[in-house]
Structure 1
Amino acid sequence: MGSDVDFVAYVCEQAGLGGALSYRKMFGEYALYLDERVVALVCDNMLFLKPTTAGRTLLDTVQEAPPYPGAKPHWRMDDVLDDGERLGRLLIATAAALPLPGPRAPKAAKSRAPRKR
């Protein structure tokens, strides 16, 4: 079951970070980006935050679960969704603790060799 884009939009609105928080569909689910970093995943209409030491200091308890089969455990944020201020602080702390993504490799040029018939 894929996530509903309305749920993803709700999560982004709750966080109150405006255009700084964005999302991108990936394999039927969504990744949340803050400052060019993937800070959370939305899978099956559940929010999963990337675990960081900075984020851990803002949480009382954490419930770990993989967002999809075979994934590393993330923190399920069911209890935080209705507290937009806390959610925003968690996303900001997580982004600050994560490294910027490395530069992308340039796409290889397509070969213009004639087709064999």
Structure 2
Amino acid sequence: MPTDKDFVDYVAEQAQLGGALSFKRMFGEYGVYLDGKVIAFICDNSLFVKPTGATDIITQALPKRSPYPQAKPYPVADELLDDSDALKSLLVRTAQDLPLPKPKKLRSSAKGSGI
């Protein structure tokens, strides 16, 4: 079941991170980005937070499920949606623990100039 846009809007509202938090639609679901880093996924109207060493303690009580087939289990942060401070803290902490994305390689338009 694809995620409802209303659920994505609710997550954004509850996280209270303003424009630093963004969402990218992927295969009927959403990637969640904080300052350009993928920190979570929203699949089937649930929030799956990327596991990191820094967040293991915060997420140890959360249930874990796979966001999509063949994926490893991720902590499901749905129960934090009613606690904006805890949700915001988890998302910020996750972003802090993840590396910046690798820059994309530029494609050259000419394969050998022949000069």
Taking the aligned partners of 1:34 and 1:73, their CA distance within structure 2 comes to: 21
Corresponding residue for 2:106? 106
Corresponding residue for 2:9? 9
**Whose helix fraction is larger, Structure 1's or Structure 2's?**
2
Corresponding residue for 1:35? 35
Letter in 2 for 1:7: F
1:75 aligns with 2:75: yes
Taking the aligned partners of 2:54 and 2:12, their CA distance within structure 1 comes to: 20
Aligned-residue RMSD, C-alpha: 1.7
Taking the aligned partners of 1:32 and 1:55, their CA distance within structure 2 comes to: 16
Q: Structure 1: which 4+ aligned runs deviate by more than 3 Å?
A: 107-110
C-alpha distance after superposition, 1:26-73 (max 9, x if no partner): 111001000211101000111100011211232451211100111121
Aligned residues: 111
Corresponding residue for 2:44? 44
- Aligned sequence identity (%): 50
Structure 2 gaps, min length 5: 111-115
Taking the aligned partners of 2:20 and 2:97, their CA distance within structure 1 comes to: 16
Tell me the CA shift for residue 6 of structure 1.
Answer: 1.2
Corresponding residue for 1:84? 84
| Shift in CA distance, 74/108, structure 1 to aligned 2, threshold 3 Å | farther
- TM-score using structure 2 length: 0.89
Corresponding residue for 2:94? 94
